[in-house]
Structure 1
């Protein structure tokens, strides 16, 4: 049996997929690349012409969107919110929000604090997109305001992984001060899970 292959960079959004695989107990062939692959991993281009991570190869098919890969991994596991569950559409909405609304401004911050050469870094862009993220992160706080432990379905699901990664990334960029108190407590619950700890250790091992 050929294992699914995950092309990954440490702590990049492909961490969502590695974390999900660890939670689901899914065996994968992990390939850790230097960041950014477009500059440091030219051999990756035939696999993924976009030169982005994640790259998920399974049965000859390439997937490149972290939330979509998480959906595939969650299928048939307790991470999945099934169509017959009341929170199905809420979960789907969180999955799309995770990248399009929450990770996007953080990616701009990452670019202009770490990726660009020092002379091209833009403090104004960093400040603006941190505020952008903070405004949109209020949706997490609102969802947790009633004291719930997890975002949907009364249990830890793929929504917590997808959104949890965005909140975790904010902490690595010094943007966690814009997160609400309920969000910070939820994030601690997320990142102290054994599967998250294993995923981060595994990416370092290569």
Structure 2
């Protein structure tokens, strides 16, 4: 099997993929790009015309969706405990929360970041803060799911936790933490204490620091 190559920016949604690789023991070639790569690494557009991160290249396989990449890496050589197989308990919930992470939770975060952080000089900050409230309201499904549970599905850590957990990690880093319930902050702390997460974060930070030299 060829060695997968992951192109991403440190602390971006690509962290889901880096983290999944560490959890699954998949050896990836990690390429950290400056942010935003479409402007600061224009040659990247030859690999990914969208200019978005992450991008996983694994032989003929090319993927650009962070949650899909995380699932792919967890099942690349067959199902592992990081994924839930068809017929197994919580299979439907596993699929649902893995997709829910980006489609429902991360989406309002990215709009908030654009309006309230990246383009706040254009006078759109108020719209950004409206999306912040939207994000906080959308946490209720995860909050209720975790009542009496340590992890989202099948009483074990899975890719669903990686995908949802990243949204909570992002919330802390972009100033959205005030509206995050304490139970979800505790859940986030459990996830980020994992050795594989610590390794993934360290790898990305090393790449980011190398760009600054």
Q: Does TM, normalized by the shorter one, top 0.5?
A: yes
Secondary structure (helix, strand or coil) at the match of 2:46 reads coil
Counterpart Cα distance in 2 of 1:114 and 1:179? 19
Query: What SS class does the counterpart of residue 94 from structure 1 fall into?
Result: helix
Q: Partner of 1:45: helix, strand, or coil? A: helix
Give the aligned CA root-mean-square deviation in angstroms: 1.2
Query: Distance between the aligned counterparts of 1:179 and 1:110, measured in 2?
Result: 16
Kept in 1: contact 2:7–2:33 (CA 8 A): yes
Deviation at 1:121, TM superposition (A): 5.1
Q: What TM-score, normalized by structure 2, do the two folds share? A: 0.92
Deviations 1:146-199 (A, max 9, x none): x21001110000000000001110111111222222211111001111111111
Residue of structure 2 in register with 1:198 after alignment? 199
List alignment gaps of at least 5 residues for structure 1.
none
Matched residue, 1:17? 17
Within the candidate set 114, 118, 137, 1:115 is matched to 118
SS in 2 for 1:57: strand
1:98 is the counterpart of 2:101 = yes
Is it true that 1:86 corresponds to 2:89 in the alignment? yes
Pairwise CA distance, 1:68: 0.8
Cα distance in 2 between the residues matched to 1:114 and 1:31: 26
- Segments of 4+ moved more than 4 angstroms: none
The CA distance in 1 between the partners of 2:153 and 2:122, in whole Å, is 41
| Distance change in 2, residues 1:19/1:121 (3 Å) | farther
Any gaps of 5 or more consecutive residues in structure 2? 208-213
Q: 1:125 and 2:127 equivalent?
A: yes
Give SS of 1:150's match.
coil
Q: Is the 8 A contact 1:138 1:179 kept in 2?
A: no
Partner of 2:31: 31
- Hey, what does 1:140 align to over in structure 2? 142
Please report the TM-score for the alignment, with normalisation by the length of structure 1.
Answer: 0.95
Equivalent-residue separation in structure 1 for 2:115 and 2:123 (angstroms): 5
Cα distance between partner residues in 2 of 1:83 and 1:67: 18
Aligned length: 204
